[in-house]
A = this chain, B = another copy of it.
Amino acid sequence: MAPALGPRPLPNVLLASLIPVAVWFVIRPLLDPPPPLPALHTSVGFSIFAFLAALYLVPALGPSFVKANLKGRDLLKVYSDPIPESQGLICAAIYILLLILFIPFPFSNSIANLPTKGTHLEGLLGAASLHHELSVYLSSLLSLLMATLLGFLDDVFDIRWRHKLPIPLIAAIPLLMVYHAEGGNTHVVVPIPLRPLFGVLLNLGPLYYLYMALLSTFTTNSINILAGINGSEVSQALIIGISVILNDLLYLPWPIDFRIPLHLLGSQAEVDVGGPWRAGMAYGSSQLVSRHLFSLYFMLPLVGVCLGFMYHNWYPARAFPGDTLCYVTGMAFSVVGIQGHFSKTLLLFFIPQIFNFVLSCPQIFGLVPCPRHRVPRFDPDTNLLHPSTAQFSQPPSKLTTLILRVFASLRLTKLKFHPSNGAIVEATNLTILNFLLVNLGPMNEKELVQTLMAVQVSEDGDVVGFWINYEIRSQVVY
């Protein structure tokens, strides 16, 4: 019953040495003198525990998943051993449980107020807004937990592809309800080029709620549809999570002062990021600091579980994430984007996913036939992946032909034509994975996921640079 493909061995001694480090970070806020950002220390400690828990629990619970019929075979391998599926559930459980256990650290008066005994740092959360923040934190947890439950239901009931697109909307309801109950701000900062038209701040009213709901649907589904090869879902989540963390760190009050050499990015100005009294790029705004701290509390343990899970999901995968992982990570990004009020920055980190989504549209909306799986085709003789294709049983409509011809001229797809009437008979499936294979030639699964990761890293790196550049110009009004 157990898969012949055993779990990947773990360097136990090396990992055991992480436990005291994690414990130190967790209890650091309780030691005197307290650090300037006490709860952030605990969050780092919890994230190390999240990493270790995912690393050990994923293989340990594998056989139970296989026994409960939560298993699948790897479509791109020569063997057909059953591999535990939906193990993102373990990651989600660790993640949410740690976030719940974390509650007293930033929100309990006895712990959270410690730093005010000693030096009071500007730009830090005061006790007054703790109650409000706690509601927001709890509503985020509710949304994450709903996403987990819905993702797992999706895995168990195997809901059809197109039917499940709106499911994340349900998980976003707690966010929206509490946002409303707390007298939520529905103003957005207008991007500089549009300010002559709309002014600096625009009240979107109910449209803002629609935007938040759609954001969570997008972040969830966009990770889910960029799936299919070992490590693709979890590596995206990992890279986006790290990008958000890097962006958050820029807004914290650092004990040291440092300048980002923006002239390397072609800008005249330089940005002063450090210094406790400037609160980083937050420029002393306690609201900005607390928003980005909030984001860090959610992103650090997420990166922890993703890293632990990736060890087992890496090529050749010993564990599959299932929809559960995509749902919970997608919702986590929405949560920080919405509650941290940086959803536009967040979307910039999703450019590869947006590209994949736009590319997929003709198949999602039924213009091009959509096979059940759009993963690349595996050639067992060479161990290489080739672009998979969608077949046209009858000549496509004029609209479809036009779209596919445009896509083909942009090298987004490769077409095959009927030898006599010239109609399209075959197109490579419209996903970023097939797009990479069409343009870079066949490669093996490991190379493909590495290429995908490289695309995501370089894009997200550019965004951080671009965003810093942009932020300093609009800082005045933010």
Chain A residues in the interface with B (C-beta under 8 A):
64, 67-70, 97, 100-101, 103-104, 107-109, 131-132, 134-135, 138-139, 141-142, 145-146, 148-149, 152, 156-158, 170, 173-174, 177-178, 180-183
Contact = CB atoms under 8 A, between A and B. Distances in A.
A170 B131 contact: no
Given A145-B142, A149-B145, A177 B132 contact: no
Contact of A183 (B97, B109, B158): B109
Contact of A104 (B107, B142, B156, B180): B180
Nearest to A140: B138
Contacts of A177: 100-101, 103-104
Given A64-B157, A69-B69, A157-B64, A181 B145 contact: no
A138 B178 contact: yes
Query: In the assembly, how many copies of this chain are there?
Result: 2
A242 B156 CA distance: 34
Nearest to A170: B97
* Most chain B CB neighbours (cut-off 10 Å) among A138, A174, A183: A138
A2 to B, nearest CB: 16
A5 to B, nearest CB: 22
Contacts of A68: 156-158
A181 B149 contact: no
A92 to B, nearest CB: 9
A141 B174 contact: yes
Contacts of A64: 157
Nearest to A102: B177
Contacts of A103: 174, 177-178, 180-181
A142 B146 CA distance: 9
Contacts of A149: 145, 148-149, 152
A104 to B, nearest CB: 5
A181 B181 CA distance: 21
10 contacts: A67-B157, A97-B170, A103-B177, A107-B181, A108-B181, A135-B138, A138-B174, A141-B142, A145-B146, A149-B152
